[in-house]
A and B are shown apart, each in its own frame.
Chain A
Amino acid sequence: MEYAERLENVAVLGAAGKMGSGIVLLLAMEMADVGLKAENRSRRYVLHAVDVSHQALGGLVKYLRGQVLKAAEKKIVALRKVYADRADLVDNSDIVQQYVNDVLDVVRPTTMLEAAAEANVIFEAAPEDLALKLKLFARTATDNPKAPWVFTNTSSIPIEEIDEKARLGGRIMGFHFYNPPAVQKLVELIRSRTTTDDVAAFAELLCKNLRKVVVPAADRPGFIGNGHFMRDLLHAISEVDRLGSEMPLVEAVYAVNRVSQDFLVRPMGIFQLIDYVGLDVCQCILGVMNPRLTGENLHSPLIDRLLEQGVRGGQHHDGSQKDGFLQYQQGKPTGVYDPAAKRYVPIAEFQAACDARLGPLPEPGLPWKVAVRDTAKDALLARFFGQLRSMNTLGSDLARRYGIRSRDIGLKLVSDGVARTANDVNQVLLTGFFHAYGPVNEFFG
């Protein structure tokens, strides 16, 4: 079965979720694009968008309509050629509307999991819970005579383990999109020992057609992305613990969050990133990695404690940030959670004193937004971190320790064979996390 035929019938499990909706968008557009080619006009392309709630699926359709509209407007030059033989479509507005209809026509939102059993390809974007994933595969892929190929969006669970437990016989591969899938360029492809060649070849071709940056990762828990992120966040939490003897917890969280953003020139602070991903998701991923990896303790009692108190992070349906380690107003952190008092302490109460203890940024500062847009980015970063190294402040000290730890994590991923090269690690952080520079660098001495 070649590419255009295999794509004729696709299912996405967890289609209305944060990752699933983006995956549906990308696949529906790719399927519509393939279907609009002259040689495929007789084929019928169907994408079963499976999720548990009609309400969430309604939201998915609304999201798709808005996003496809934007995409169509952006690629109007190409679309006019695609619809050149349609005499009834004259204006750009006619063509954009037709394309939106053609993409949405591919998508069949449903709460019936069984619909996925007729697919040639199943994308799974369910929560990071092995038992749940196995349950879904049992009803759609395992023992299915159609032998569908499974691409799991897991960001931590070893693929071979899923393959064995779901009895897929190598019809599975890790296809890890980054959040949000429609925006982030990166896809981590995880080929297990058992993944068949044709499954891997399809995944690579699909990534190419989706214009994704592919980084292959070895089939080890957490892969490259979470292999770095989880250890990075545990470092941040250990720094908070270390600072705990000098300052209250909320101030330590604020300080490390600020250092990891402003002093390290990252798009957001580490605790804001944990909140963005969700404390529950982080806990799940650590829960997958820790028992499967020996020689280190990948676990955070602080995250457990916050979750026990109902502090979860993640996003509301409208995409706005829920409170987690930090409290947010219009997307900006305004408070830090104090688990002892079970309340948020306004940042304004301690910010000035805390900033004074951290000390100044290297002059004239280097906001992440400026760094990523500048063509002379590397020189700007070298100058900034050069100055930072020569400073003797709490902020510069925390930043140096952080930068060195991040580098060590990156190098360990290479020496453990999770990433082929340091360059692959850097690529994941640059394109999956929007960092301005990769963790394996010479900036921190």
Chain B
Amino acid sequence: MNKLRRKVYMTAGYNTVSMGTGRKEFHPKKPRPGLEDYIREAGRGVLKQVGGAGNIDEGVIGNFMAARFNGQGNLAALVPAIDEGLQWKPCTRVEGACASGALALTTGIKSVLAETADMVLALGVEVQNTVKAIYGADILATAGWSRERKAGHAYFFPGKFSDRAGAYYEKYGRDRTRQAMARWYRNAIENARLCPTAQEYHNTTADLDAAALAEPNPKSFVDHLNVLDCSKVSDGASAIAIASEAGLRRAGIPTSAAVEIVGIGQVEADLTVPPGDPTRLETTRRAVQCALASAGITVDKLATVETHDCFTIAGILAVEAIGLAGPGKGPDFVLDGQTARGGRVPFNTTGGLVGWGHPTGATGVHQAVTLWEQLTGRADRAQIAIPEDRPYGLSVNMGGDDKTLVALVYRRGQEK
């Protein structure tokens, strides 16, 4: 990627609750907020912080499959439903499966870089609890190649990552990997308990490791994962403002209240080709390399990472793909506590996909909001220390089985 010719910032993030099983207020049989309610809440949460819709030039909304989960297309036209001040402004809906949120970010970034906008409202949304999990699995399976569906597992993506986990166990040993996956789960829940919008905020399980080490049951689920190895079904939306310096100025927001996007890596892999080595996330690796290179930093400058742990094994594979541990060494890195909140590079500090939740189309935006909170000191009880000599945050958002990848590098905005 060419060097960015203009500074791009993100600020004024907002997350709705990630709603679904685990939240005390969730009742599967009672009416719940719909797609437009989540979009409105998240959008208004941003507008309130940027001085209103008048300061927004454009809207971008990321969503995976509202057409099937909610019978709703044309989502761009739900952006003006947030505020009448957005009526008649250009809006775009983008889709890249579970990376739809980050595609909304890169699309907004490009508008700012193209100087067609000084502030873009970027949103991500998904409302998935409209169908039972087994039918949701059909919908989510569309993130894979449709011709693979027939031979795929009933729970298609858990099946895909179960296969990856199985290959990893075989190559590097099962026990230590399972232990690391359980630790990943524990870290995720412990972090989620510090974030009131997290789906696992109310989780009270006493022995998280023991729960997570339950043996997989291939009869009712997949061969190599149990349900706690998987992110849950979630409803939610996240939003953030993407701005130029002029955009921030216009909204009266100091750059120190924003994060600067210093590196972008966006990589696509062929949907019709299975992964060469199932124990590696090659597309993720490439996206992170691009992002770090365009930021001009090395991996040891990272203070924190928000990665796409749709499954615990995906978290461990990402640790290796990012370059923090060599092949087969991800479990050690995790078990050594390096990814925990007190470790060298805290991962997913508000719970990630396993702990905070995974409203698919919102996840990429949620990651940006979390990093904005952490790097600008707004993370409240979930706040971690950001070392001065390692001031960078990295987000990794993945669509499909390592197909659509966006990695972004952030640092706190510098006052002039």
- Chain A contacts to B: CB under 8 angstroms: 73-74, 76-80, 87, 90-93, 96
Q: Are B134 and A73 in contact (CB under 8 A)?
A: yes
Contacts of A73 in B (CB 8 A): 132, 134
Contacts of B220 in A (CB 8 A): 74, 77
Known contacts A73-B134, A78-B219: A91-B153 contact under CB 8 Å: no
- Contacting residue for B135 out of A79, A87, A90, A92, CB 8 A: A92
Known: A77-B155, A93-B135. 6 other contacts (CB 8 A): A77-B220, A77-B221, A91-B138, A91-B149, A92-B135, A93-B138
Please give me the 7 A-B residue pairs with the lowest Cβ-Cβ distance, nearest first: A91-B138, A76-B154, A92-B134, A77-B154, A90-B150, A80-B154, A92-B138
B137 at interface, CB cutoff 8 A:
yes
Contacts of B221 in A (CB 8 A): 77
Q: Nearest CB to that of A94 among chain B residues?
A: B138
Q: Could you name 22 residue pairs across A and B whose Cβ atoms are closer than 8 Å?
A: A73-B132, A73-B134, A74-B220, A77-B154, A77-B219, A77-B220, A77-B221, A78-B219, A79-B154, A80-B154, A87-B150, A90-B150, A91-B135, A91-B138, A91-B141, A91-B149, A92-B134, A92-B137, A92-B138, A92-B154, A93-B135, A96-B134
Q: Nearest CB to that of A88 among chain B residues?
A: B150
Contacts of B153 in A (CB 8 A): 77, 80
The CA-CA distance from A73 to B133 in the complex, in Å, is 10
Q: Give a binary string over B140-175; 1 marks a CB under 8 Å from any A CB, 0 the rest.
A: 010000000110011100000000000000000000
Q: How many A-B residue pairs have CB under 8 A?
A: 31
Contacts of A78 in B (CB 8 A): 219
The CA-CA distance from A80 to B150 in the complex, in Å, is 9
Contacts of B138 in A (CB 8 A): 91-93
The CA-CA distance from A92 to B220 in the complex, in Å, is 14
- Contacting residue for B149 out of A76, A77, A90, A96, CB 8 A: A90
B: interface residue count bin:
10 to 19
Contacts of A87 in B (CB 8 A): 150
Q: Give a binary string over B301-322; 1 marks a CB under 8 Å from any A CB, 0 the rest.
A: 0000000000000000000000
- Chain B contacts to A: CB under 8 angstroms: 132, 134-135, 137-138, 141, 149-150, 153-155, 218-221
The CA-CA distance from A87 to B154 in the complex, in Å, is 15
A67 to chain B, nearest CB (A): 16
Q: Nearest CB to that of A81 among chain B residues?
A: B154
Contacts of B134 in A (CB 8 A): 73, 76, 92, 96
The CA-CA distance from A341 to B138 in the complex, in Å, is 61
Contacts of A93 in B (CB 8 A): 135, 138
Contacts of A79 in B (CB 8 A): 154
A253 to chain B, nearest CB (A): 35
B406 to chain A, nearest CB (A): 28
The CA-CA distance from A90 to B145 in the complex, in Å, is 13
Contacts of B135 in A (CB 8 A): 91-93
Q: Nearest CB to that of B138 among chain A residues?
A: A91
Contacts of B155 in A (CB 8 A): 77
Contacts of B137 in A (CB 8 A): 92
The CA-CA distance from A379 to B297 in the complex, in Å, is 60
A242 to chain B, nearest CB (A): 45
Contacts of B218 in A (CB 8 A): 77
B58 to chain A, nearest CB (A): 36
A338 to chain B, nearest CB (A): 38
Q: Nearest CB to that of A91 among chain B residues?
A: B138
Contacts of B149 in A (CB 8 A): 90-91
Q: Nearest CB to that of B221 among chain A residues?
A: A77
Which of A73, A74, A91, A96 counts the most chain B CB atoms within 10 A?
A91
A114 to chain B, nearest CB (A): 41
The CA-CA distance from A91 to B154 in the complex, in Å, is 8
Contacts of B132 in A (CB 8 A): 73
Q: Nearest CB to that of B141 among chain A residues?
A: A91
Which of B134, B218, B220 counts the most chain A CB atoms within 10 A?
B134
Q: Nearest CB to that of B156 among chain A residues?
A: A92
The CA-CA distance from A368 to B194 in the complex, in Å, is 35
Contacts of A74 in B (CB 8 A): 220
The CA-CA distance from A79 to B134 in the complex, in Å, is 12
B204 to chain A, nearest CB (A): 16
Contacts of A77 in B (CB 8 A): 153-155, 218-221
Which of B137, B150, B155 counts the most chain A CB atoms within 10 A?
B150
The CA-CA distance from A91 to B219 in the complex, in Å, is 18
Contacts of B150 in A (CB 8 A): 87, 90
Q: Nearest CB to that of B150 among chain A residues?
A: A90
The CA-CA distance from A79 to B55 in the complex, in Å, is 54
The CA-CA distance from A319 to B382 in the complex, in Å, is 49
The CA-CA distance from A74 to B133 in the complex, in Å, is 11
Q: Nearest CB to that of A78 among chain B residues?
A: B219
A198 to chain B, nearest CB (A): 31
The CA-CA distance from A142 to B207 in the complex, in Å, is 62
Q: Nearest CB to that of B220 among chain A residues?
A: A77
A341 to chain B, nearest CB (A): 40
B358 to chain A, nearest CB (A): 19
The CA-CA distance from A96 to B137 in the complex, in Å, is 13
The CA-CA distance from A79 to B138 in the complex, in Å, is 15
Contacts of A96 in B (CB 8 A): 134
Contacts of B154 in A (CB 8 A): 76-77, 79-80, 92
A308 to chain B, nearest CB (A): 42
B66 to chain A, nearest CB (A): 18
Q: Nearest CB to that of B159 among chain A residues?
A: A77
Contacts of B141 in A (CB 8 A): 91
A373 to chain B, nearest CB (A): 15
Contacts of A76 in B (CB 8 A): 134, 154
Q: Nearest CB to that of A77 among chain B residues?
A: B154
A304 to chain B, nearest CB (A): 43
B349 to chain A, nearest CB (A): 34
Contacts of A91 in B (CB 8 A): 135, 138, 141, 149
The CA-CA distance from A93 to B134 in the complex, in Å, is 8
The CA-CA distance from A91 to B221 in the complex, in Å, is 16
The CA-CA distance from A79 to B220 in the complex, in Å, is 11
The CA-CA distance from A79 to B218 in the complex, in Å, is 13
The CA-CA distance from A92 to B156 in the complex, in Å, is 10
